[in-house]
Amino acid sequence: MFIMKNNCQIERKEIYLFILKLLIEVIETNKPCIWYKTEEPFINKYNGRISYDYSGEVREMTYTDIIKMKNELGKSEIAQILYLSKLDELLSEIYIDQWIPTFQSNCGKDWVSYKKLLERSFNEWKYENFEIYNEETEEEDEDLDIELDSVLYDFLEDTSYEIYYAKILNSLKQST
């Protein structure tokens, strides 16, 4: 049980339902893209030599891409280490046509994934609705912040990917 700013109580399962709503919104409002590797040459301003950026690019996902992705979910050793679940992997591997600068040499673009969009929306909701940070006292309730984040990550770990995969697949069918 969590207490919101308006003194209402909210249970974990209600937060799950809210996360579900946020995820559906991410899927419905963003065209799915797939990342692919590129090497973009550029002149290094410090030594004048040619360097390469390995950020890659994204392109709109096809029906074939999403089916291939589904068939590979959870199968690689890296995926089993990096992701909480097949849903986590799916959302982490579907991107939108938007990136954030990293300010890192040779990897200047951090492509925005469905998972990052979900986390961003969840964090906005979390900070709007809970007393996590008090601007007057500059104190932070780290325990509450961590507990709420754990609800999001438990959702990603416990929830089947299949409904969301079907929703993405359906959106691709409709766009072709």
The values of phi and psi at residue 111, to 5°, are -70, 140
> What pTM value is reported for the model?
0.87
The one-letter amino acid code at 49 reads R
The phi-psi region of residue 124 (left if phi > 0; otherwise alpha if psi is between -120 and 50; otherwise beta) is alpha
Report the C-alpha gap between 15 and 151 in whole angstroms: 7
pLDDT at residue 58, as a whole number:
93
Burial of 29 (C-beta count, 10 Å sphere; 0-12/13-18/19+):
exposed
Report the C-alpha gap between 35 and 89 in whole angstroms: 14
Per-residue pLDDT tens listing for the chain (176 residues):
899 989 899 999 999 999 999 999 999 999 999 998 888 888 888 888 888 777 888 999 999 999 999 999 999 998 889 999 999 999 999 999 998 988 877 777 889 999 999 999 999 999 999 988 777 766 778 899 999 999 999 999 999 999 999 999 998 887 66
Residue 98 CB contacts under 8 Å (≥ 6 apart), including other chains: 111, 112
List the one residue out of 3, 32, 1, 7 whose CA is nearest residue 171. Answer: 32
Question: What residue segments make up the domains of the chain, in order of their start?
Answer: 2-175
pLDDT at residue 173, as a whole number:
80
Letter string b/e over residues 127-155, b meaning 16 or more CB atoms within 10 A of that residue's CB: eebbebeeeeeeeeeeebbeebeebbeeb
Report the C-alpha gap between 166 and 136 in whole angstroms: 46
pLDDT at residue 176, as a whole number:
60
